[in-house]
Structure 1
Amino acid sequence: MFENLSDRLERSFKILKGEGKITEINVAETLKDVRRALLDADVNYKVAKSFTDEVKRKAMGMNVLTAVKPGQLMVKIVHDELAGLMGGTAAELKLEGRPAIVLMSGLQGSGKTTFSGKLANMLKKKNRKNPLLVACDVYRPAAIEQLKVVGESVGVPVYSEPDNKDVVAIAGNAIREAKAKGYDVVIIDTAGRLAVDEEMMNEIASLKEAVNPDETLFVVDSMTGQDAVNTAREFNDRLDFNGVVLTKLDGDTRGGAALSIRTVVTKPIKFVGTGEKMEAIDVFHPERMADRILGMGDIVSLVERAQEQFDEKQARELEKKIRKNKFDFNDFMAQIQQIKKMGNIKDLAAMIPGVGKAIKDIDIDDNAFKGIEAIISSMTPKERTNPEIINQSRRMRIAKGSGTNIQEVNRLLKQFDQMRKMMKMVTSMDSSRMMQMANMMKSKMK
């Protein structure tokens, strides 16, 4: 995510490395490079110029403490300005109606239908809502079926009228159904449309007026850069939407849309799509995104994703098994599934401060666990529960059944055994030994 921009900004800051103080000359040279980096990232020219002018104004007016190097100070100023550029703080979804209504808008192919399912899934799991999806794309072939497949995958019902082409009537009937059956959020998926298509724009404007949504969201593919920003402006002029959803952010190496859209349309980015899975949706946090752009990681988001997959009851049961040295391959497989649900592996690793830079040239496949899963799946239930019984002949059978080799099976069994010992040791420690171990680790890291 934004790898190209991150690399360019890092090179820009090196201009100030070794400088004793901030001067107009070295600041101008650094910011000239920063502006180029932003323009190469497909950031709007006026936004890039205004951004660097503001950074320069703040840098020149700041007294540099002796303990702070000019390069560090510049990173801090740029970080704060980047966060401000993207909105400063996260913008919440306002769901006050009974039921609350969310209307989706955007171009065809921007990911509205998939995002509708992701939002329904998030509201259901995190916000304890009872959502209803509504199929108001009456033009695209199989659009209704696609929404039904998405709804089924997240366990959310879909309201549709396949023979009706009147989207205002469909939405009205869906809202009445939601009130009758106790759904508290109605998410209306609409057809993709061009801003220049007067008839289609009039249709969604009429739909918005009829249903009076709590939130109108504009969904756009972040990888289209300035085209996304221009389209957002045109839609906003007609619809006056409440917020922006950037899809496919995980594949965006530049970041032009994320950095420009807030300034150009004066509406917040509310959500981002970070993958194909239904769980791959994040509330947009400008300050965290600024951290990631500047290579500082995003440990808060990583912890939040982990907590979403965390089951307190399962965790207590797992701790008991670890204390008794009963952690087995069934438990290990369950942990792998939880990690996979958290999202793209490389993206997760990049959230750890310092790791993103180290792995930027390493290709980490989302199927990184495939070999391990194949090996575990080739074990018998008894072998998964009692790894100690896996002798040489069993190992050969497992290797053959999993399409791997004996070395890979041996490696996994050895690593699993080491992991079990380490887990048991950690859980058996009292607090004083835990503190002692933490201090030892801290001194080694230093």
Structure 2
Amino acid sequence: MRTVDIIHSKRDGKELSSEEIAFLVEGYTKGEIPDYQMSAWAMAVYFNGMSARETADLTLAMAHSGDQVDLSSIPGIKVDKHSTGGVGDTTTLIVGPLVAAAGIPVAKMSGRGLGHTGGTIDKLEAIPGFAVERTTEQFLAQVREIGLAVVGQTGNLTPADKKLYGLRDVTATVESIPLIASSIMSKKIASGADAIVLDVKTGRGAFMKSLDDSIKLAQAMVDIGTEVGRETVAVITNMDEPLGPSIGNSLEVLEAIDTLGGRGPAELTEICLELAAHMVRLGGKADGEAEAKELVTRLLDNGEALAKLKQFIAAQEGDSRVAEDPARLPQAARRVDVPAPEEGYVAAIDAEALGITAMLLGAGRATKEDKIDLAVGIKLFKRVGDPVKKGEPLAELYINREDSAETAEMMERTAAAFTIASAPAEKLKLIYAVITKDGIRKL
């Protein structure tokens, strides 16, 4: 078998065999296939695509290229959840305890933030003492004991994906749905879950900007899950404005605590209940979506989900007292209001622009090496559709740096992310569709 023949076949739009895909992934991971040949193959895939079977084969080959987590020692159906990334998206901190409180084990590996999207691991590190690194034995034992653990990804999980993604990033082949889908799903499959719920973001603050592309990506990932025997559900959710009003690590932890205490933003609560309900159904704790939604709503209302969060924080050496005393979270030195430049109605909020502004404040990273400030961020006071008066605060900046010129720039950037119109604007739809192995259900 020769790499050039595989490239030739994909260039001509032919379907590759399972053996050819395995040969390609193994050879590239070991360094036996050079970057220039893998680049040529990736570009051929970019233009010609891959079948559902090819994409599943690529996913499994990458999942098997490194360590795989064995969750078989944990009783029950293990259900994982993944978000394609957004702004103000703190769903894992809410959905994890909620689902675990329903008796479904959640053994999750999460990543750090980069660019305008936040990372779950960074948010958890805003909790004093919280340990995101655990041995495999500690990780599994914690899930068996309390039903929930969230840790950083292991160094040798899907090395083929890490290597291929780095190559795609510099060869203009990132925006290929089969390659995106296999990248995401390879990590989920290597993490060992029996079933997977995907929160696929669409809109300005998402990786996939158009609804059509988001649905295509979700369908590709559901197809992969079906092909490899992992029941998968994808929910298409709106990221044209930040999901929650808080952007920044400490702020988002506080928002998660408020939400689990029944005091959270309505939009964030609604999406978390939707995702949790799908996980509960896949985990076998409810016969249908209605019963699952009723169960998770009850666990939110009766305090069991918040109690699970405290138990989870304590199990990973964090200070669980933050649930009653938010002042124990990192605090910014200053808060600065961002006034509305005119009267009217909020017609649009640029989620990506706000995510970048939060990053520039220090809440995120421009490169993987950047150190983040856990206390800083942005708190929004308005959503699309809300009326606003001139001079009324649109948002509040949480700042540690004393540079007045920088503060003025951040205020200007934040205000510019809001579009204010004279006529009332409709509230944005939160959930567009649910995709399962049975098809697409638009909402």
Which structure carries more strand by proportion? 2
Which structure carries more helix by proportion? 1
Per the normalisation by structure 2, the TM-score is 0.28
Does 1 or 2 have the higher relative contact order (CA < 8 Å, sep 6+)?
2
